[in-house]
Amino acid sequence: MSAVALLSVDDIHAAYQPGVDILQGMSLAVPEGGFVLVIGPNGAGKSTLLKTVFGLLGPHRGGIALGGRAIAGLAPHEIKRLGVSYVPQELNTFPHLTVEENLRVGGWTLRHDKARLRERLARIYDIFPVLGQRRRDKAGSLSGGQGRMLSVAREMITEPRLMLVDEPTVGLAPNLAAQVYELLQTARRSTPTAILLVDQNVADALPHAEDVVMMNLGKVKAAGPRAEFPEQRVHALVQECLLG
Amino acid sequence: MKARVPREFRHSAIAVVVATLLLLPMPLVVSSFGLHVLTIAFYYVILAASWNLLAGYTGQFSLAHHAFAAVGAYTSGLLGHHWGVPFWIGIPAGVALSGALGWGLGRLVLRMRAIYLAIATWAFAETVHIYLTADYQFTRGELGLSVKPLYGSVDPLPYYFTFLALTAVVLLFIRGLIDSPLGYFMRAIKDDELRAKSLGIDTTKVKVAVFSISSAIAGLAGGFYGHYIVLLSPQMIDFSEMAKIVVMVVIGGFGTFLGPIVGAAPVQVILTWLQKYGEWNLAVFALVVIVLMRFSMEGIAAVFAPWWRRLWAGRA
């Protein structure tokens, strides 16, 4: 990984219930503009890692820094203001709001800068014309793929420095899954943003990543550039995690 | 670039203006008592619509709304009673105090969820109730605080027009708010607060703002109400008042713009009419509510919704 880390997570421990740590000394770094893929078996703590970075869960030990600034313990809206976006696993659009209202809701940090918000909206409609065509429709009427597009586009509104993406292809048809990874690459190229992706869909996600982190039982099992993670090694590692 | 007025706002504004114009000649056809009933009904439309802003659009179920109306009424009433302050200072002072109290209470309780929020706001309302009753040397307690009428007499005619105009202005303001950025942040919080938080929205800030605004509107309605009924008592903060506001919104259509309007006015008219049955009026009223809810769980507004959509279909 490159020397300049945008995000550095250092030996964090976090729990939903006191005494039951899900993250048990997790560390990783995401370089500026990088694409880091986190893989690992179910229950490894991958989603918890993203929630902890975004401030939805407070670590009780260890540090998290964004561009050298400590962010552990900050509230999600404060972390968002520093340029971090979070796309959770479940479809997270607001079904009763229109497509455009959903996008504007994503622009909370730009709410006092109307001109900039308008310009960003126009740019989003440029990149994703279908969202422009359906901007007055309720988000609840979008298809699964369009809904996912909307949730990623909504995060792009603020042009984040880092996007935390949790299992973006869960429940999507295989052809849509490929589109979602393209979507993330589009976001990365147009913003430009670094991506920390958590995914079970290793085969499809791996080709897009620059660095890979394999997690097990709340900490790193293996990490390195993608080239060090050919499919056979990933399989062997997963097997090792599952069988002990 | 031309400022874009949202379609929903334009349509609702036209409807509010048309309805107001249709109600203008009412004094020609209804008796003085009828005008009084309608004037009070307008007061409840404002209370119901502003509570709906908080509960229906933002998902914050407060049980203190009637207390904020009383704060508005008593502020202007007490300022006038003790220091001879005129209504045009008293009412804005009541609005400011209700808004400020709403802001303060909101900061304290809006991190709570559902039932805890309801209990905490109810406790606040009871505190105001007890204060107004107990400090009778200042508030006149159950003896009643006499307030100067707005227009020198209590003939309902000028008050009818005043409340009609006030209701129209408040409804337009609320519609504007729903379609503003604050409006979609509110609706996002109601849809899913955790999701809104994960988008980086400072949900407490939004909820406190809405709480303060809706409390200020209740204070405004209360202020004018006090100068019309001219005798205030702590009965204004009886829990049945709050229950009435909730029933009005639920019958009309929770979380819809039309709901509180079509809910509050008929409920108030029916309740007044039922008063001749004495103690039985609430039992009959409960029956009416059950029958109405049996036919439309989503309230009266849902009955109008398809017609409303057809009316504007294909128009910009």
Q: What CATH number is associated with residue A88?
A: 3.40.50.300
Q: Which of B184, B196, B198 sits opposite A104 (nearest CB)?
A: B184
Is the ipTM here above 0.85?
Answer: no
Residues of B in contact with A92 (CB under 8 A): 192, 195, 198
Residues of A in contact with B195 (CB under 8 A): 88, 92, 94
d(C-alpha A28, C-alpha A223), whole Å = 8
Highest mean pLDDT range out of A65-79, A102-116, B183-197, B222-236? B222-236
A118 Cβ contact partners less than 8 Å away, ≥ 6 residues apart: none
Across the range A211-233, mean pLDDT stands at 90
Cβ atoms of residues A93 and B196 within 8 Å: no
End-to-end CA distance of chain A: 28
3-state helix, strand, coil in chain B (%, to 5): 80, 0, 20
pLDDT in tens, B155-210: 999 999 999 999 999 999 999 999 888 998 999 999 888 888 878 888 999 999 99
Q: Is A86 on the interface with B (CB under 8 A)?
A: yes
pLDDT at A1: 46
Across the range B80-89, mean pLDDT stands at 94
Optimal mutation site among B57, B199, B204, B207, interface A, most CBs of chain A within 10 A: B199
Beta strands at B145-146 and A219-225: parallel, antiparallel or unpaired: unpaired
Rounded to a whole number, what is the distance in Å from the CA of B289 to chain A's nearest CA?
Answer: 27
Q: Is B135 on the interface with A (CB under 8 A)?
A: no
Q: Is A101 on the interface with B (CB under 8 A)?
A: yes
Confidence of residue B229 (pLDDT cuts 50, 70, 90): very high
Check pLDDT > 90 for residue A8: yes
pLDDT at B1: 39
Check pLDDT > 90 for residue A204: no
Q: Is A55 on the interface with B (CB under 8 A)?
A: no
Domain count, chain A: 1
pLDDT in tens, A172-195: 777 777 878 888 888 888 778 999
Residues of A in contact with B185 (CB under 8 A): 105, 108
Residues of A in contact with B184 (CB under 8 A): 97, 101, 104-105
Q: Which of A79, A92, A105 sits opposite B185 (nearest CB)?
A: A105
d(C-alpha B147, C-alpha B139), whole Å = 11
Residues of B in contact with A56 (CB under 8 A): 197-198
pLDDT at A92: 80
Mean pLDDT is lowest, of A223-227, B80-84, B91-95, B289-293, for B289-293
Mean pLDDT is lowest, of A73-82, B6-15, B63-72, for B6-15
pLDDT at B4: 61
Dig out the tokens for A128 from the structure: 């994703």
Q: Is B180 on the interface with A (CB under 8 A)?
A: no
Mean pLDDT of chain A: 88
Optimal mutation site among A57, A74, A105, interface B, most CBs of chain B within 10 A: A105
Check pLDDT > 90 for residue B291: no
- Domain encompassing residue A110: 5-243
Rounded to a whole number, what is the distance in Å from the CA of B201 to chain A's nearest CA?
Answer: 6
pLDDT at B228: 96
Across the range A67-84, mean pLDDT stands at 90
pLDDT at B196: 87
pLDDT at A70: 94
Counting residues of chain B whose pLDDT is more than 70, the rounded percentage is: 97
Across the range A114-138, mean pLDDT stands at 89
Q: Which residue of chain B comes nearest to A91, CA vs CA?
A: B195
A83 Cβ contact partners less than 8 Å away, ≥ 6 residues apart: A66, A158, A159, A160, A161, A162
pTM greater than the 0.80 cutoff = yes
